[in-house]
């Protein structure tokens, strides 16, 4: 029989050897802590390293304390100590440490030991980049505002041997397992207490991040075991682990997580799930070499310079999903470490600084092994906190929670049933905390893998602690009527058109804003129902290229009941409000296109009716009014009647756009005066509620719900689903309100569990005040005269929303299916949105019945770049194109204006290459 285990072992050894051989020429993929390697320097210039162990052996404690003082911090005005502890005399293995007493001067303060991950990452990275009192700058060292030495004794250790300044003279001293790592750390700790005997009784906490999720439990268990045998016990109280990689077999589910982030599509997710199953199988069999190779191919690419993660996402970095590449500039850090004065001051002398590669290679068979049994034992005796940055990929929050839910410890059932609490720092929602027995689990909002760097004040607080149907996305804006004498009279275009006075209508609708006289635009009202005096307000901008044949784009805002002037001033129009004047936006859609904004439906913004029967209660009514407005627009500008025409918009306009598109399609079949409809672009479109419901899994994957809360969501979602199936629209609305919105019942599970008042960008928990500048301008009399609204009221859309209440949970999927047989459609989603999250849109698309559905399913998703930046991902099948826009919320053109413009140009040109 073929020895497959032998084959895999040889294959892995070959890959590791190849990796080591090519390190100089190959760029290693996805290193959390930069691979910094500094050669030895002359002792004549840099001094000699300070070895503490010989002084301890001779009892020269005071001398060792004095010699280890760091002159650099003495100069700045505070004390610190650094040097080397010898942990293996046979192989001359030494661990480097740097200790900072508390700035509070409290000698009895707890001690915190910080260990970096990697494996092979220097703890000096944590010191200078994350939580230490010093920041490395070009001009030297500066103090960090929020650092852990403010109130604690803080020790940084380069661990294990071969990391940073820690070194050995013999290859046999490199650790190949966690037992070895723990022994070296324990030896260092006992020598530290010899050096500072006054600290022996202080409480001790172990802390660190990433691969230190292996070191810390192993070190903690070593202390626990030694305490049982020794009279002089280490006063260990707890362990704090950030984005800890502890239990690989239960921290594997990248497929579902990346899909929920929009970084991979459903087909790519299936491949991830297959690889994950293979990796889990190899781990279960103890085939560490095979598991390493598969994991490398899935996520890392260290061995072969290929990974599916990089291939599908284009990312070179998986420590914050808002970043596609590492952004750390380590040149200052490197220059300081090479400075001879600094080297003398921190007692490293001329020793080289190791990049940790040998450490990683030596620990290669340890990478996918678990320390869960050690954690289980420790939880019976010590407090342990696991905290996760919400934006991390490689040790994402759902992966950590899955590992904890599978952990066997005395309070396991208590943990599974524990209530998650909203945690605030000041008035800000910092994250979420759950406790059970000695276990505390924390989600830190808006932080990646290196939480102390991304949220320094929040984490310092945490460490101290351890001792209607929609929220109004577009603000409810309302302006009262003004005197016509002051604000002028509104311009109604329809009477001019009826009399054939086209030139006069064009002249009377011309907008002249003194702040931006170069902008050519027209505005006014189209009457869409004479019986009820229902009128839609429009504002049209000529293309800045002056190209009369350029496509015409109609923009519709969502809500329902939100003014398209929000889109104009805040998202994609040529004008922005700045203080008391209008200014030009850099990236706007009128650069190349005719752009038309319409306040729709009647009762939205400046659009109005004089009879309650003029309000729409369904999409047919909305479409009919818009179609009437469009017919009049092309009468007003007949030279545009044959231009290509595109309907665009976002959010609840995901209902308006297909409905209008279908009406145009049907009317074109009956008339010679056709509208030259070419396509529709829908941003974060709410089109098919029954298939855009899965908030539970989405919020869970983003760390905003725990598993218990997810189950509550899933139960309510099933009830909503059943109500929609039964066409019980009022019941579906009430359930949806209770789940997400809270406008009707003044309670929403979403708000209760997350503390959020805003669900349009999960990096924001509340609505920012973006509307004030343009609303102030819209209330000025000279502006009202110029844009031809006169003294008309500006409506907040509440009546529109109430009138459309039975439409809320209904689907326009059939209209979309029919339109896809004739027109191109683009569905684009901001990655950070909650209410119409990317996976919800994909689920709706996957359930669409359209002619090219098989082609869409088989299509390859491509990485879309703007310049050198990864803007997102695009997939096309037949007339359907689907796009994910990175680092954008519900209002994509606002969050990523350049990328949104590029996407619209690609769509109109029908060229995504």
The closest of 443, 460, 340 to 392, measured between CA atoms, is: 443
Q: CA–CA distance from 600 to each of 117, 176, 627, 904 (Å)?
A: 55, 67, 11, 22
Q: Is the dihedral of CA 403, 408, 411, 412 positive or negative?
A: positive
Question: How do residues 412-464 score in pLDDT, each as one tens digit?
Answer: 999 999 999 999 888 899 999 999 999 999 999 999 999 999 999 998 888 87
Higher pLDDT, 567 or 324: 567
* Residue 890 is a catalytic residue: yes
When pLDDT is cut at 50, 70 and 90, the band that residue 897 belongs to is very high
- Please write the tens of the pLDDT for every residue from 393-411: 999 999 999 999 999 999 9
Residue-by-residue DSSP string for 87-128: EETTTTEEEEEEEE--TT--TTSPEEEEE--TTT--HHHIII
Cα R_g (the chain), whole angstroms: 32
Rounded distance between C-alpha atoms, residue 871 and residue 867, angstroms: 9
pLDDT average, residue stretch 349-361:
92
CB 594 within 8 A of CB 550: yes
Sign of the four-CA dihedral 845, 846, 849, 853: positive
What confidence score (pLDDT) does residue 703 get? 94
Contact (Cβ atoms closer than 8 angstroms) between residue 218 and residue 374: yes
pLDDT at 678: 98
pLDDT at position 469? 38
Q: Is there a catalytic annotation at residue 88?
A: no
> What whole-number distance in Å separates Cα of residue 123 and Cα of residue 155?
9
Backbone angles phi, psi at 360, to 5 degrees: -65, -40
> Given 362, 651, 659, 786, which residue is catalytic?
651
Computed over every residue of the chain, the mean pLDDT equals 91
pLDDT band at 485 (very low <50, low <70, confident <90, very high): low
Summarize the confidence of residues 140-157 as an average pLDDT.
93
The whole-angstrom separation of Cα 35 and Cα 38 is 10
**CB hemisphere CA count around 356 (13 angstroms):** 24
The pLDDT assigned to 466 comes to 57
392 in catalytic set: no
0.85 surpassed by pTM:
no
Task: Give the number of C-alpha atoms closer than 13 A to the C-alpha of residue 285, restricted to the C-beta side.
Answer: 13
Q: Partners of 598 in the beta sheet?
A: 538
Residues 729, 725: Cα–Cα separation, whole Å? 9
Average pLDDT over residues 140-156: 93
The mean per-residue pLDDT over the stretch 617-621 comes to 96
Q: Is 475 helix (H, G, I), strand (E, B) or coil?
A: coil
| Options 247, 366, 833, 895, the catalytic residue | 833
pLDDT above 90 for 131: yes
The sign of the dihedral angle between the CA atoms of 621, 623, 624, 629 is: positive
Where does residue 648 rank: exposed (0-12), middle (13-18), buried (19+ CB within 10 A)? buried
Question: Coil, strand, or helix at residue 395?
Answer: coil
Mean pLDDT for 313-327 is: 89
Cα separation values, 487 from 483, 737, 780, 788, 793, Å: 6, 39, 8, 9, 11
Q: Is 661 within 8 Å of 815 (Cβ atoms)?
A: yes
Give percent above pLDDT 70 in the chain.
92
pLDDT at 337: 78
User: How far apart, in Å, do the first and last CA atoms of the chain sit?
Assistant: 50
**Rounded Cα–Cα distance for residues 514 and 512 (Å):** 6
Contact 687, 654 (CB under 8 A): yes
Q: Can you tell me the mean pLDDT for 255-269?
A: 95
**Of all residues in the chain, what percent carry a pLDDT higher than 90?**
78
Q: Which of 665, 702, 788, 890 is catalytic?
A: 890
Residue with the larger pLDDT of the pair 273 and 467: 273
**pLDDT score of 40:** 62
pLDDT of residue 4: 37
pLDDT (tens digit, 9 = 90+) per residue, 286-310? 999 999 999 999 998 877 789 999 9
Contact yes or no for 865/912 (Cβ under 8 A): no
In which residue are the tokens 């991950």 written? 117
């Amino acid at each position: 029989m073929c020895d497959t285990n032998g084959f895999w072992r040889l294959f892995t050894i070959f890959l590791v050897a190849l990796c080591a051989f090519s390190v100089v020429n190959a760029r290693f993929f996805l290193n959390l802590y930069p691979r910094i390697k500094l050669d030895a320097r002359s002792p004549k210039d840099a001094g000699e390293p300070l070895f503490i162990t010989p002084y301890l052996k001779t009892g020269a404690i005071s001398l060792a304390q004095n010699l280890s003082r760091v002159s650099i911090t003495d100069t700045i005005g505070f004390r610190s100590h650094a040097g080397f502890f010898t942990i293996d005399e046979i192989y001359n293995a030494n661990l480097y440490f740097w200790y900072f007493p508390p700035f509070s001067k409290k000698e009895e303060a707890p001690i915190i030991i910080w260990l970096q991950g990697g494996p092979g990452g220097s703890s000096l990275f944590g010191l200078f980049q994350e939580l230490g009192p010093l920041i490395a700058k070009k001009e030297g060292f500066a103090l960090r505002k929020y650092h852990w030495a403010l109130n604690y004794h803080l020790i940084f250790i380069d661990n294990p041997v071969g990391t940073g300044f820690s070194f050995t003279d013999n290859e046999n001293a490199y650790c190949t397992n966690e037992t070895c790592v723990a022994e070296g750390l324990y030896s260092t700790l006992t020598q530290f207490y010899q050096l500072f005997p006054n600290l022996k009784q202080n409480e001790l906490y172990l802390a660190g991040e990433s691969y230190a999720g292996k070191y810390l439990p192993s070190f903690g268990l070593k202390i626990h075991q030694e305490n049982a045998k020794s009279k002089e016990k280490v006063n260990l109280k707890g362990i704090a682990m950030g984005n800890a990689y502890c239990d690989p077999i239960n921290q594997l589910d990248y497929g579902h997580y990346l899909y929920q982030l929009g970084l991979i599509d459903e087909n790519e997710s299936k491949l991830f799930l297959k690889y994950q199953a293979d990796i889990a199988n190899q781990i279960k069999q103890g085939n560490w070499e095979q598991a390493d190779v598969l994991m490398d191919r899935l996520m890392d690419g260290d061995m072969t310079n290929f990974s599916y993660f990089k291939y599908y996402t284009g990312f070179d970095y998986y420590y914050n999903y808002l970043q596609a590449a590492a952004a750390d500039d380590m040149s200052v850090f490197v220059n300081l470490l090479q400075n001879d004065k600094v080297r003398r001051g921190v007692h490293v002398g001329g020793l080289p600084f190791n990049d940790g590669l040998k450490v990683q290679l030596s620990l290669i068979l340890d990478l996918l092994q678990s320390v869960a049994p050690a954690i289980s034992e420790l939880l019976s005796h010590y407090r342990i906190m696991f905290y996760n940055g919400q934006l991390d990929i490689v040790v994402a929050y759902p992966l950590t929670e899955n590992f904890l839910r599978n952990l066997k410890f005395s309070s396991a059932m208590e943990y599974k049933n524990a209530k998650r609490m909203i945690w605030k720092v000041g008035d800000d929602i910092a994250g979420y905390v759950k406790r059970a027995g000695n276990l505390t689990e924390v989600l830190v909002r808006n932080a990646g893998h290196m939480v102390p760097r991304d949220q320094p004040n929040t984490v310092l607080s945490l460490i101290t602690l351890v001792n209607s149907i929609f929220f109004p996305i577009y603000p409810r804006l309302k302006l009262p009527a003004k005197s016509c004498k002051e604000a002028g009279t509104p311009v109604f275009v329809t009477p001019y058109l009826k009399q054939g006075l086209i030139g006069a209508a064009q002249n009377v609708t011309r907008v002249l804003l003194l702040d931006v006289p170069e902008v050519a635009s027209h505005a006014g009202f189209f009457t869409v129902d004479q019986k009820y005096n229902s009128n839609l307000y429009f504002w049209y901008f000529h293309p800045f290229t002056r190209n009369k044949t350029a496509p015409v784009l109609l923009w519709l805002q969502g809500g329902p009941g939100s003014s398209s002037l929000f889109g104009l001033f805040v998202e994609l129009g040529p004008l922005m409000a700045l203080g008391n004047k209008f200014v030009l936006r850099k990236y706007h859609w009128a650069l190349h296109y005719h752009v038309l904004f319409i306040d729709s439906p009647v009762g939205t913004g400046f659009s109005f009716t004089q009879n309650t029967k003029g309000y729409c209660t369904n999409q047919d009514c909305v479409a009919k009014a818009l179609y009437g407005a469009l017919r009049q627009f092309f009468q007003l500008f007949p030279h545009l009647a044959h231009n290509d025409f595109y309907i665009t918009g976002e959010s609840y306009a995901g209902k308006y756009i297909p409905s209008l598109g279908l009406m145009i399609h049907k009317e074109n079949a009956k008339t010679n005066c056709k509208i030259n409809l070419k396509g529709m672009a829908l941003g974060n479109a709410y089109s098919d509620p029954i298939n855009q419901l899965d908030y539970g899994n989405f919020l869970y994957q983003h760390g905003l719900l725990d598993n218990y809360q997810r189950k509550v969501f899933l139960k309510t979602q099933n009830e909503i689903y059943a109500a929609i199936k039964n066409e019980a629209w009022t019941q579906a609305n009430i359930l949806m309100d209770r789940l997400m919105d809270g406008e009707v019942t003044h309670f929403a599970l979403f708000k209760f569990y997350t503390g959020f008042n805003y669900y349009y960008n999960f990096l924001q928990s509340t609505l920012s005040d973006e509307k004030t500048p343009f609303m102030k301008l819209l209330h000025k009399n000279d502006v009202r005269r110029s844009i031809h609204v006169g003294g008309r009221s500006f409506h907040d859309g509440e009546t529109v929303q109430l009138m459309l209440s039975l439409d809320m949970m209904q689907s326009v999927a059939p209209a979309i299916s029919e339109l896809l047989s004739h027109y191109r459609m683009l569905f684009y989603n901001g990655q950070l949105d909650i209410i119409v999250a990317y996976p919800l849109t994909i689920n709706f698309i996957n359930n669409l019945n359209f002619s090219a559905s098989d082609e869409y399913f088989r299509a390859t998703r491509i990485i879309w770049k703007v310049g050198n930046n990864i803007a997102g991902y695009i997939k096309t099948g037949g007339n359907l194109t689907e796009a994910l826009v990175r680092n954008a919320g519900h209002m994509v053109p606002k969050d990523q204006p350049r990328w949104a413009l590029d996407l619209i140009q690609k769509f109109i040109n029908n060229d995504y290459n």
